[in-house]
A = this chain, B = another copy of it.
Amino acid sequence: MNKNTAVTIKDIANALNLSASTVSRALRGMPEIHPETRQAVLQLAEDMDYQPNQLAKNLVKSRTKTIGLILPTLSYHFFASMLNSIEEAAMQAGYSVVVCQTNESYLREVAQIQNLLHSQVEGVIMSLARDTSDFEHIYRLQRKNVPLVIFDRYSTDIDASRVIVDNHEAAFKATQHLIENGCQRLGCMAGPPHLLISNERLRGFKDALEHYGLPYNERYVFYNDFTQENTMMQALNMMSLPTPPDGILTMTDRIAFATMYAFKQKGIRIPEDVAIVSFNNDPTCIYLSPSLTSVNQPIQEMGAQVVRLLLKQLENDQPVVAETIVLSTQLMIRESSMVEGRKK
């Protein structure tokens, strides 16, 4: 029931006694059109409020000018914000983006990819779901030659362009910060064990311990599934160990929030009893009591790079080799890790 009578190129052509092709060329400002007639065409197009039919245009050029974005969820600030910056960058390049959420489910991820293919996106940008450890659906995508770039949650099993953050370094520095503030027994609330990004951070954690001659103990690392209940339980379990940690690195602010919540209920004080540093720098970090120190990722920059890499693939005819951009992070130090009088 949309505009039953939209004005087309032919309408303009008829009104001016021109051919459709001339009008088309005039509208696009091609050189082989007399300035006068071009002017007439543009004028009339304006008057008739001509809107080019994208559908037709798309068909002949077989381009849709849309890209697909697959995210684990939008209720994490990080991803919502990435959508923000990606959408901004895409718009500037004349693309629109359709978003899908996997809700961390592998099945939904393959379904969403299917949907995107079906709606003929020119390329896809994604961050892996918590539950995906098989990549056949992604290989299929690549076999169809649709340009792909992955950010944040990536996998080395996927040969695609990616923009990530130096997770090892970030975790190393975060852990270093805890140690230099006097923490001796460090614990880690990690993500699911098959999530590469979590393992990278864990490795940074481990290396920092080693570097400072502190013991690394598997019992002090918990792998959770990003749910609140699960993390609260694990957090309490961690503090019930014979010698509970006095500092914890959490993989994500959401995890930190939940553990802080659990600790508060049990009367465990932060940072006095245990310091916390986390990842993502959610804007609400500053609103908590204590405020949460967290590593900040350059979201704007990441979004810009992501679409840059995608565009590079989209607008080059020859296949372009996968490229990985590693950005650096910044530790935002706040109350949750400021341990007075505990420096060693």
Q: Are B3 and A54 in contact (CB under 8 A)?
A: no
Interchain CB contact under 8 A, B64 and A120: no
Instruction: Kindly identify which residue among B87, B98, B261 contacts A66, using a CB–CB cutoff of 8 Å.
Output: B98
A133 within 8 A of B: no
Cα distance, A145 to B3, chains bound together (Å):
6
Q: Does A217 contact B (CB under 8 A)?
A: no
Residue pair A314, B81 in contact (C-beta under 8 Å): no
Question: CB of A325 within 8 A of chain B?
Answer: no
Candidates B87, B101, B264, B319; contact of A1 at CB < 8 Å: B319
Contact of A119 among B66, B75, B80, B284 (CB under 8 A): B66
**A37: interface (CB < 8 Å):** no
Contact segment of A9-17, A156-164, A286-294: A286-294
Q: List 14 A-B contacts (CB under 8 A).
A: A2-B144, A2-B145, A51-B117, A53-B120, A54-B118, A55-B64, A55-B120, A58-B58, A66-B98, A74-B84, A84-B101, A97-B98, A260-B287, A284-B287
Give the chain B neighbours of A122 by CB distance below 8 A: 2
Nearest Cβ in chain B — how far from A37, in angstroms? 25
A317 proximal to B (CB < 8 A): yes
B98 touching A96 by the CB < 8 A rule? yes
Asked if A30 lies at the interface with its beta carbon under 8 angstroms from chain B, I say no
Residues from chain B with Cβ under 8 Å of A87 in the complex: 99-101
Contacting residues, chain B, for A287 (C-beta < 8 A)? 257, 260-261, 284, 288
Give the residues in chain B near A283, CB-CB below 8 Å: 75
A99: which of B3, B83, B289 is its contact (CB, 8 Å)?
B83
Question: Cα distance A56–B313 when bound, in Å?
Answer: 24
Chain B residues in 8 Å Cβ range of A77: 75
Nearest residue (CB) in B for A122 is B2
In Å, the complex CA distance between A4 and B289 comes to: 57
Instruction: Say whether B119 contacts A65, CB under 8 Å.
Output: yes
Q: Give min CB distance, A88 to chain B, whole Å.
A: 8
Chain B, residue nearest A140 (CB): B49
A213 shortest CB reach to chain B, Å: 35
